[in-house]
Every structure is written in C-alpha cells, then in structure tokens.
Amino acid sequence: MIEHKLRLSGKPVPITDPVLMEKCGVFVTLNEHKRGAYGLRGCIGLPYPTKPLIDAIMEAAESSAFNDPRFPPVKADEMEGITIEISVLTPPEKLAVDDPETLPDEIVVGRDGLIIGKGWRRGLLLPQVPVEWGWNSREFLSQCCVKAGLPQQEWRKQGTEIYRFQAILFKEETPRGKIIRHIID
C-alpha cells in the first residue's frame, strides 16, 4: 500500500481471504534502519474492531507513512531502509478493580497492550513497547498515562479508564524482507 501510493509498485492485489474480512483493530509501525541505527518512523492504528482487517491495515499503513504528525511523510527513497510491523489487536477489555494499587498485577508485560483515558485524553501503547524499554507493569501504566497527556500516576485515580488488549505481531526481518510472526519476549 505504501509503495503503491509512492508509485514504486503496480496496483495492489485484490484480497479475498475471509480472515482479512473480519473486523479487527490494527496498528502499523514503520521502523527506520540507517547506518546501524534503528528508530521509529511512523506508527498509527485503529485500536477498535470497526473495519475489516484488510481495510484497517491499508488505512493504518497509509496514515503511518504519510500522516503521523511526529514525522514528515515517507519518501520513495526511504523505503529501502524501512521495515514494517503490523500488530493485529484483540478487542480492548476494560480493567475493573476495587483497589487501583492491584492494577499492575492485572497486566502481563509482553502480552498486554494498554489504553488509558480520562475525559477526552487517551493514550495507547502496544505490548512490545514495555519490553523494548525494559518497563515493569507499574512503569508501563505510568508511561501510558504520559502518552495520554495525563500525570504519571493518574492510573491510580478515580475516573481513569484502563483497557488491556493483546496483539499478534507480524514484522519484516529486513526492509522488503521476509515477514515473520513475531513472539514478544
């Protein structure tokens, strides 16, 4: 989809696999590989199962490449150095506990992703993020609050909604390389 939009390849092939017609949440992450360095180049998704998977992937891929406000649009000559990850999400499940201090016990780092919201503020972190940063579940909750534009400890307060989800991660081993199903450790 990205290369088609950049006119590096022909028309996208029509997809008819029934699995790709199921409604799923999805995130597409672009990672840049330059001179041994590795960094985020774009990441946008649809966290809720509102569209068929294939449509969600195409929309998220295009948005990740061309509409992530943190980065300029991807250019054709960059594609040689970008790997693509697709995270297919389970429907978010609201966490309800009597004591917010027990929330970290409800989250498994490496398995769960988080959505934290209060009022109009929302933040989402994929399951691979705390693994990449070496966070425990408390740090994960705090960093998701930061992503939402909330104080770090807002997860402990009344009125904060916390959802968890899981993801199946598919990623390219190298730019334009083999795609593998990646298990998060």
Cβ atoms of 65 and 5 within 8 Å: the answer is: yes
Tens of pLDDT, residue by residue over 97-156, are 999 999 999 999 999 999 999 999 999 999 999 999 999 999 999 999 999 999 999 999
The proportion of the chain whose per-residue pLDDT surpasses 70, expressed as a percent, equals: 88
| Cα–Cα distance for residue pair 122/76, rounded to 1 Å | 32
Cβ partners under 8 Å of residue 153, min gap 6: 142, 145
Q: Is the confidence at residue 172, as pLDDT, over 80?
A: yes
pLDDT of residue 20: 81
Mean pLDDT for all residues in the chain: 90
CA distances from 31 to 21, 40, 158 (A): 27, 5, 37
22 or 18, which is more confident?
22
Q: What is the spatial distance between Cα 19 and Cα 10, in angstroms, rounded to a whole number?
A: 24
Domains, the chain, in order of start with CATH, read 2-90+167-182 (3.30.700.20), 93-165 (3.30.1490.150)
Whether residue 9 is predicted with pLDDT greater than 60 in this model: the reply is no
Reported as a pLDDT band with limits 50, 70 and 90, residue 66 is: very high
Tens of pLDDT along 23-52?
999 999 999 987 666 789 999 999 999 999
For residue 61, the tally of other CB atoms under 10 A from its CB is 24
**Which pLDDT value is given to residue 107?**
97
pLDDT greater at residue 74 or residue 17: 74
Neighbours of 63 (CB within 10 A): 16
CA separation for the pair 177, 18 (Å, rounded): 25
For the chain, the straight-line distance linking the first and the last C-alpha, in angstroms and rounded, comes to 29
Contact criterion met (CB below 8 Å) for 114 and 163: yes
Give 27-73 as a DSSP string.
EEEEEEEETTEEEEEEEEEE-SS-SBHHHHHHHHHHHHHHT-TTSPP
Q: How many CB atoms lie within 10 A of CB 121?
A: 14
* CB-based contact 116:47 (threshold 8 Å): no
